[in-house]
Amino acid sequence: MVCTVLVFGNADAYDLRTHGSISDRSFDASQGTARYLNEMGIGPDDVFDRPAVTPPGQLADFTNLGTVRGWLTEGAIREDDYQPHPLLERIFGCEPPLNPPSAIDRPVHHFFDVQRGGAGLTLSGGLPAPDWALGVQGRGPADDQNQFSLPDARVSQVRALTESSRDGRDRNTALLFRTLGHVIHVLQDMAQPQHTRNDPHPRCDSTLLRFVTGDRSWYEAYVEKRATNRPYRGRGVVPLVLAGYGPVGFQRYQDYWANVSGTGLAEFSSRNFFSARTNLGAFSLLGDPCGGLPQPVCEPGAYRTEDFEFTTPTLGGDPLTGRVRFFLRDLADPLTGQVVQDVRVSSRSLWDQHLETNQQRPKFSLNTYTYDSIADVLLPRAVGYSAGFLDYFFRGRLDVDLMPEGGDFGTVRLSGVNGSPEALGGGTLTLHADDATGRRMTVPPLDADLTVRAAPGASLTSARFHLRSDTERYIAVYQGRLGNEAPAPSFPGAVIGRALGGVRVEEVFLDFASDPSPTWKLRTPKGLFLLKSPDRDTPLTWDDFDDVRWGDGDDQLVGRTRFGAGHPNRVTAYTLPRLVGSVEVVAEDTPAGPAVSLMRLADWALPPGGIALGTTLSLSYTIDLRQQLVAYERTSVFQWTVPFPGVPGSYVAASVETTSPTVRTVASQTVPFAETFGIVLDPIHYDLRQSPTDGATYSWTLGDVSVTVAGRLVGLIRVDHAPPPFFRWPRVSEPVYGLDADGGLIVLQTCSTFSCFPLTVSVVREFPVGPLLWAVVELETGRVLGRTADDQVTIAARAAVEAPNWLGSGQSPTPIIYRHNFERYEGGQDDPRTVDRRWSGEHLRAWDGEASSTLTPLALNQGSAQTTSGVLRAELASTLGTFLEFGPGQPALAETRAFGDPGPDQKRLAVSVPATGPVAAWVVLADAVRARPAPGTERLVLIAEGPMARQRTMDAILVWDPAPARAEVLHTSPRGAEGERLFLASATSHAALALAVAEGGGYLVPLDGAGPPRFLSDPGDALVSYRLLAPQVLYNVLTERFHRIVATPDGTALQATALPLVLEDGPAGPIGDYHAVRLP
């Protein structure tokens, strides 16, 4: 018995780096973990309890950097710690432990015989795996007891939130995530069938011991090689498959192992896969086939088979060829309904499990091919179940803020909603505050009752608390029942934390009250500071920089001079010095007040020759101008008539004869305009939109300038076409022709009292409207980090114009029908004879619907069309294509007018314009802002505008990440009745604020898929006073408070919170540029 205990004491499941890889992927997949870290203000690079980190040599060569990710992985690796067993090492060749000294064999508690009542590895005294991980059994403070169970994680979480010292909180934060790593390791072992079928597999390679206790786990050895990207016994490298199975959600921790629905990970593993000693053809000591387990079916005939010829290298290097028969089954996932087809669950051949030794008789075994099938199905589930377990642990969420009580910002309640998916069941909600040294204290409540109850999504209000005037960070902590998780002895129940504040708002602004020149200053809650230039012992003024704003980093400022011909065209970045480990600035007293001496970070001046943007623009505009004339002949017939004998005769009008009207073109010309130019960001082309110069062709502006965390100067560039002033726009003029009395072609005139002038029709060349492109440029190197257009942009437009326009009444010039008049006399002495009465004109009239003698078609060539290429990069064009679709084109137009003599002999003119086919909608990227700070790579938020099929003009808010070439439309809005469009106010890496004047409000738009845009009611246009500060905080520059979005019967409202501390001089100070700096 003692030997058995010792042997099984180091029966690992998946090996160490495999667990590390699974845990690392689970960390990434867990949205609950990410949300908790975000709401607690814990960054991905924050380090906790670095001295306690296990050295890589004792941690499977994994380096724990002290981050929460590192601690989770360390815990997952350290859960396989076991104590030395010198006797087994000497006699049976068992591997000595590489972990730090341990007084306990943890792996012995990683078994769960789920098909036979859920026992552990009973021969070695092992506890059932879920009982061990969840602290039901084996938990305690002694060295030989489990100190890394689920209840221990909750205890560490409480201490991480409430301990007084920063060191203590950091130590418990590390312990929290290390403990969670231990717990999910035990869950991950349920994806190893040997651990759910009680198939022991010691880390020993002795023939005698193998006979007594079973073979070592070659499956785990093989998977570990895959995890470390190393070949196994001469075979090629096969990376682990970890993706493909999303986080799993249950409402009890133990359900992740097994539950009444049979969807636990242990159940899926045990009931679908064999293991070495419970395989087909294997018998237990009692003679039961397949180890006495009913599932999967222990009958070879129940499986489909696949014969496979293999060639594999041996340890000696020579290739080996053989045949193996695989036994296949389809696996139905009871949780998702997914069916995994043709999974190799066993094999039978003459070869051993390594496919290296011919055993002379067929035998069932598991080999690398079946190992791959097992791992590729179970390891993604190990990730999904682990991530789901972490999600469940961090499912609690307090969506609350410190809200002033009755307008008193010193007395507050925690107010908001229960953002958890389960009910808060009467636990306590307390508030804790950090002082300037990092010491955390419990804020005494003003009310005795601290308990709260709230259903999911229901409103939540705490007791009252009195705030300290100088505190900038508070922690709200809930302890107690959450759904099925309830307190118990030595177990606090569920724990939810929420950091409130933890950031300070600072402002840089231009003080116009300074003498003799406006001066740039810094405003914080602790004071008002001059900003001194590192080049001289005087403050920065408006003479130095036209604009100064915050960079991406907490300590960065960037200033820009005026740009354009004759201006400095310079950008300079500075570092703001702060005290070590503090956000307080390093300042000195001067006669003019406290001053901060800036340190130069980067400096750039626009080269005289500019920066080539790498885009060539070809514009063409063609005008087709045509005039058509309609004419016909009208003959009045007169008959000589003698009414009575002896009475003189006379000519009497007898009839009217007309010819069919003819249509002829009397003037036609085609005039092309074309220009091609490369876009260079040089001084002479800067901001020419309001004062274009002849031959300028384009204009560019530096819409925003910043400095990245890495110290690179970047600028947001807008490029527009810069046509000449309107009165100098190129135009085509065509005389309007008519016929004189003799039928000759003449130019018509328009006359006033004193003079006459030729009548002409002028067509003006049109130019593209709105920005041609946006770009983000690294200023110092000239490298284009992102550009909305391709290298070659072509915009070709064509306009066809008819003069006069025959459609509709009231056109100028008025269309005229020309008529050649004749008189024919018959029956007289000199008859027949015809008299030419010359030409005259007549106007069209509305057709009365009565019959007519002729119908003359008149087809007009008018309208416009535009084609583009390269205006949008492929990802932008694709994304906006789904938003704007295609415009319907110009519909066919037709109108019938009448002329000639009224009555049945009247004539009709059928005027028509043919329809044009669907055309791509013209998209204008009307506005853009740079996300600040950039989320690793540059990110722009843009407003696109254009017509949507069968709808009026629409605006779209889209986010664009140039480096990965990713774009997404996040929101669309119709234009207002007066053409009001959306305007971008500000953007962080996570969200954007857009003003919607037509809708009486604005939109808070998440950029990272955190939810749909939220409409903010703004009947008083107060949204212009808000700034969106990183990561996603609405700050009112007038009240100098963060605001919370609350639902109202009419929509939403913004309510001021009690944070942050107001700036020096209080609210309603000068308006400048703001940022939020994270407190250490």
CA separation (Å) from 480 to 376, 392, 523? 40, 15, 42
**What distance in Å separates the CA atoms of residue 1077 and residue 502, rounded to the nearest whole number?**
9
Residue 270 has pLDDT above 90, yes or no: yes
**What distance in Å separates the CA atoms of residue 327 and residue 274, rounded to the nearest whole number?**
11
For position 315, what pLDDT does the model report? 56
Q: Which of 68-77, 196-205, 848-857 has the lowest mean pLDDT?
A: 196-205
**What distance in Å separates the CA atoms of residue 688 and residue 233, rounded to the nearest whole number?**
71
pLDDT for 191-236, tens place per residue?
999 899 887 756 555 444 444 444 445 666 676 767 666 666 556 6
Residue 6 has pLDDT above 50, yes or no: no
For position 565, what pLDDT does the model report? 92
Share of the chain above pLDDT 70, in %: 88
pLDDT for 738-781, tens place per residue?
999 999 999 998 888 888 888 888 888 777 778 999 999 999 99
Residue 472 has pLDDT above 90, yes or no: yes
Mean pLDDT along residues 350-356: 47
Residue 330 has pLDDT above 60, yes or no: yes
Q: Can you name the residues that pair with 769 across neighbouring β-strands?
A: none
For position 697, what pLDDT does the model report? 84
User: Measuring CA to CA, which residue among 524, 709, 529 is closest to residue 601?
Assistant: 709
**What distance in Å separates the CA atoms of residue 176 and residue 172, rounded to the nearest whole number?**
6
Q: Which of 276-290, 329-343, 559-573, 818-832 has the lowest mean pLDDT?
A: 276-290
Helical spans, DSSP H, in 326-397: 368-393
Strand residues in 83-195 grouped as ranges (E): none
For position 12, what pLDDT does the model report? 46
Q: What pLDDT band is residue 112 in, cutting at 50, 70 and 90?
A: very high
Residue 344 has pLDDT above 50, yes or no: yes
Q: Which of 2-6, 159-163, 329-333, 770-774 has the lowest mean pLDDT?
A: 2-6
Mean pLDDT along residues 530-543: 93
**What distance in Å separates the CA atoms of residue 717 and residue 958, rounded to the nearest whole number?**
18
Residue 584 has pLDDT above 90, yes or no: yes
User: Measuring CA to CA, which residue among 146, 176, 149 is closest to residue 161?
Assistant: 176
Q: 400: which DSSP letter?
A: E
Residue 522 has pLDDT above 90, yes or no: yes
Q: Can you name the residues that pair with 664 across neighbouring β-strands?
A: 629
For position 365, what pLDDT does the model report? 80
Q: What's the sign of the alpha-carbon dihedral 39, 41, 46, 50?
A: negative
Beta strand pairing status for 1041-1048 and 1051-1056? antiparallel
How far is C-alpha 815 from the geometric centre of its chain's CA atoms? 57
Mean pLDDT along residues 458-485: 95
User: Measuring CA to CA, which residue among 991, 973, 990 is closest to residue 982?
Assistant: 973
More confident residue, 352 or 724: 724
Q: What pLDDT band is residue 656 in, cutting at 50, 70 and 90?
A: very high
Mean of pLDDT over the chain:
88
For position 9, what pLDDT does the model report? 41
For the ranges 8-12, 491-495, 955-959, the maximum mean pLDDT occurs at 491-495
Residue 652 has pLDDT above 90, yes or no: yes
pLDDT for 1024-1035, tens place per residue?
899 999 878 899
Residue 242 has pLDDT above 70, yes or no: yes
The answer regarding whether domain 402-501 maps to CATH 2.40.160 reads no
The letter for the amino acid at 977 is A
Is residue 973 a contact partner of residue 959, using CB atoms and an 8 Å limit?
A: no
For position 692, what pLDDT does the model report? 64
User: Measuring CA to CA, which residue among 889, 888, 907 is closest to residue 897?
Assistant: 907
How is residue 449 written in tokens? 């009752």
pLDDT for 900-944, tens place per residue?
998 888 999 999 988 776 655 567 899 999 998 888 899 999 999
For position 1030, what pLDDT does the model report? 80
The set of long-range contacts for 320-328, using a CB threshold of 8 Å and a minimum separation of 24, is 320/355, 320/356, 322/349, 322/350, 322/351, 322/355, 322/358, 323/349, 324/348, 324/349, 324/351, 324/355, 324/367, 324/369, 325/349, 326/369, 326/370, 327/280, 327/300, 327/303, 328/303, 328/304
User: Is the pTM of the predicted complex or chain greater than 0.85?
Assistant: no
pLDDT for 789-841, tens place per residue?
999 999 888 888 888 878 766 666 788 899 999 999 999 888 889 999 999 99
Q: Determine the 3-state secondary structure of 598 from DSSP.
A: coil
For position 628, what pLDDT does the model report? 93
Residues 6 or more apart in contact with residue 261 via CB below 8 angstroms: 334
Share of the chain above pLDDT 90, in %: 61
For position 977, what pLDDT does the model report? 59
Q: What's the sign of the alpha-carbon dihedral 675, 679, 680, 683?
A: positive
Residue 612 has pLDDT above 90, yes or no: yes
pLDDT for 417-431, tens place per residue?
999 999 999 999 999
Residue 617 has pLDDT above 90, yes or no: yes
For position 1, what pLDDT does the model report? 36
Is residue 37 a contact partner of residue 46, using CB atoms and an 8 Å limit?
A: no
Q: Which of 6-15, 87-96, 1063-1072 has the lowest mean pLDDT?
A: 6-15
For the ranges 98-102, 682-686, 876-880, the maximum mean pLDDT occurs at 682-686
Mean pLDDT along residues 133-148: 96
**Dihedral pair phi/psi, residue 390, rounded to 5°:** -65, -40
